[in-house]
Structure 1
Amino acid sequence: MASKLHQLQTKAVQASQFVAKHGTSYYKQLLEQNKQYIVQPPTVEKCQELSKQLFYTRLASIPGRYESFWKELEGVKHIWRNRQDLKVEDLGIAALFGLELYAWFCVGEIAGRGFTFTGYYV
């Protein structure tokens, strides 16, 4: 156990040294590559204004999203009414999609518990 702790400490020191050595250049490079997204002057007030703009823009997009949701739902209803015309490929895709959703749910549950497996063993 002590050797693993020592290895972990060594890795942490190496990582912090790497960040200390290369972090500034990475930061500058990142800002240079994305300078078209930087609003001048970069002040707290400007950040608060942009935050409000983002919030109210997303709020204004709700009616469009609402309409899109109902169009998608109508499409699903149409497919369900004509389910006898579905091909095996379409059913396979739907089954894989359902399986993927279930798997993500299970992975989310496991991650939420801190990657521990719990349950009763019979």
Structure 2
Amino acid sequence: MASKLVQLQSKAAQASQFVTKHGCAYYKQLLERNKQYIQEPPTVEKCNLLSKQLFSTRLASLPGRQEAFWKELDSVKQLWKNKHELKVEDAGIAALFGLECFAWFCAGEIVGRGFTITGYHVK
């Protein structure tokens, strides 16, 4: 156990040295690559304005999203009405989608419990 701790400490030190050497250059490169997204002047007031614009834009998009949701629901209702014409491939895709949703739910539950299966932390 102690040897693994020493290995982890040495790897953390190596990572820290790498970030110290190359972090500034990476930061400058990242800013240069994304300069079209940077608002001038970069002030707190500008950030507040942008956050309010984003929130308002998201609110304004709700009616369109709601309409798209109802269209999707209507198409599912039509599929259910015509389920005798449903192909095996379509049913398989629907089953896989349901299984994927369930798996993400289970993964979220495990993460919420602190990455434990039972919910109890082993010390």
Structure 1 residue aligned with 2:99: 99
Instruction: Write out the 4+ residue segments of structure 1 that deviate beyond 4 Å after TM superposition.
Output: none
In the alignment of these two chains, the number of paired residues is 119
Map 1:1-122 onto structure 2 (within 5 A). 1-118=1-118
Distance 2:54 2:117 in 1: 40
Alignment RMSD (CA, Å) = 1.2
How far off its partner does 1:73 sit? 0.8
TM (normalized to structure 1)?
A: 0.92
How far off its partner does 1:53 sit? 0.5
TM (normalized to structure 2)?
A: 0.91
How far off its partner does 1:17 sit? 0.8
In the alignment, residue 112 of structure 2 is paired with which amino acid?
G
Unaligned runs of 5+ in 2: none
How far off its partner does 1:10 sit? 1.1
Distance 2:57 2:117 in 1: 42
Unaligned runs of 5+ in 1: none
Q: Percent identity?
A: 76
Q: Secondary structure at the match of 2:41?
A: coil
Distance 1:71 1:92 in 2: 22
